[in-house]
Amino acid sequence: MIGSCAAMQSLFRGIEKVSRWDTPVLIAGESGTGKELAAQAIHRASRRAGQPFVAVNCAAIPPTLLMSELFGYERGAFTGALKRKPGRIEMAHGGTLFLDEIGDMPLESQASLLRFLETGCIERLGSTESITVDARIVSATHVDLDAAVAAERFRGDLYHRLCVLRIKQPPLRERDGDITLLAEHILNNLRSHSPDHIKGFSPAALRALSAHDWPGNVRELINRTRHAAAMCENGVITPCDLDLQPPPETRPLTLAEVREAAELNAVKEALQRHHERLIDVAAELGISRVTLFRMMREHRLQVRKGGLGMVCLQG
Ligand SMILES: Nc1ncnc2c1ncn2[C@@H]1O[C@H](COP(=O)(O)OP(=O)(O)O)[C@@H](O)[C@H]1O
Ligand SMILES: [Mg+2]
C-alpha cells in the first residue's frame, strides 16, 4: 500500500492497532480507496497471517446464490446440488473472512450471518449438522451504514456486531502529495508490460493529477494512467492523455512578495500572542513602535478606537 501523507500514516497506524485484536473490524470508505488492500494488510499483520484469507463480495454475488456461497450445501439440498460444497465461511476457518460490500447484503443473508456471529456455528444448506467455525470477520462498505440502519435496509444488531473496531479509508483527494507518488508507482508497474518506452508525466500532467478531485479514487487513477500510457506520444504523458484539463500556469512568487507575506504573518502572530499589546509586539519583533505602526498601516491591520495601544485585526 503506497502512502506517505498524514492521512495514510494514520491509516497504517490504525491497521496496526486493529491487527492485534481478534474482534470484528469494519472498513468504511468510498469505492476505489483500497479497502480490500487494507483488509489483506490487517490479515497479514494479525496472528492469523499463515491461515486462509477468504474474500466474499456481497454485491457481486446474486442474492439467490449468496446463501449457498457463504454457508455451503449438502448434496441434494436443491436442484443442481449434485455434490456437497463447503461455503466460504467454513473455508475461512482459522483465518480471516473478508465480507466486502457488506452494505449490499440482502436482509435474508444478514439474519443468517448474525446467527453465525452470535454462535460461531453454521449449518450447510440442506443439513442440520452444526459446524463450528473460528474466523475473524473483516467487513468493508462504501455505504453509509448508519443511514442504511435508519432506513431498515441493514440490521442494527448485525451492524453493532460487525463494527466493534472501525477503520476509515481516506479518499484520494485528501491525500496531499500521495497522488503523484501513486501515479508514478502505477506507471512503474505498467512499464514492464508496455511495448513502448514511457519516460513519465509532463510537469503539466503532474499538476493536473494534483488538481483533479478523484471521485473514483485510486481505481480511477489506475484507469486514467493506463489509458494515458497507451495514448501518449514520445513517451511523455500530458494532461490530455489523462483526459484531464491542463491546470492554469501558476506564476512563481517574487522575493518581494515572499518577504511581504512573511512580514504580515510575523506581525499577525505576534499581535495574537501578546493580545494586541503593541509595546510587547514591537519588543518581540525587534522594531520600534513607529515601524510597527507603519507595517500595520501597510498591511491594513487597524488600531481599535478607544483602547490604549489596542488593535483589531482586519488583514
Ligand atoms: N494505497 C494504495 N497503494 C497502491 N495501490 C492501491 C492503494 N489503494 C488502492 N490501490 C489499488 O486500487 C485499486 C482499488 O482498490 P480496492 O482495494 O479494490 O478498493 P475498494 O475495495 O475500496 O473499492 C486496487 O487495484 C488496489 O490495488
Ligand atoms: Mg472493494
Query: CATH code at 210?
Result: 1.10.8.60
Residue 194 pLDDT exceeds 50: yes
Report which ligand 1 atom has the smallest distance to the Cα of 29: 22
Query: How many Å apart are CA 299 and CA 315, to the nearest integer?
Result: 6
Count of C-beta atoms within a 10 Å radius of residue 78: 10
Q: 55 lies in a domain?
A: yes
User: What does the pLDDT read at residue 303?
Assistant: 58
Q: Where in the sequence is the domain holding 78, given as residue range(s)?
A: 6-170
Q: 211 lies in a domain?
A: yes
Is the same domain home to 226 and 282? no
Q: What is the mean pLDDT of residues 266-281?
A: 89
Is the same domain home to 153 and 54? yes
Q: What is the mean pLDDT of residues 284-292?
A: 94
> Up-side HSE of residue 70: CA atoms within 13 Å toward CB?
34
User: What does the pLDDT read at residue 312?
Assistant: 46
Is the same domain home to 30 and 88? yes
Of 173-182, 238-247, 306-315, the least confident = 306-315
C-alpha cell read off for 79: 436442484
Distance 108 CA to ligand 1 centre (A): 30
Query: How many Å apart are CA 28 and CA 163, to the nearest integer?
Result: 10
Is the same domain home to 210 and 131? no
Q: What is the mean pLDDT of the chain?
A: 91
- Among residues 237, 263, 288, the one where a domain terminates is 237
Residue 311 pLDDT exceeds 50: no
For the Cβ of 223 lying below 6 angstroms from any atom of ligand 1, the answer is: no
For the Cβ of 3 lying below 6 angstroms from any atom of ligand 1, the answer is: yes
Is the same domain home to 117 and 220? no
CATH number at residue 18: 3.40.50.300
Residue 306 pLDDT exceeds 80: no
Distance 112 CA to ligand 2 centre (A): 22
CB 302 within 8 A of CB 288: no
Query: How many Å apart are CA 121 and CA 115, to the nearest integer?
Result: 8
Is the same domain home to 162 and 210? no
**How do residues 120-164 score in pLDDT, each as one tens digit?**
999 999 999 999 999 999 999 999 999 999 999 999 999 999 999
Chain centroid to CA 10: 10
DSSP letter, residue 307: S
The strand pair at 165-168 and 25-28 is best described as: parallel
Is the same domain home to 158 and 183? no
Please tell me the pTM assigned to this model. Answer: 0.78
User: What does the pLDDT read at residue 253?
Assistant: 85
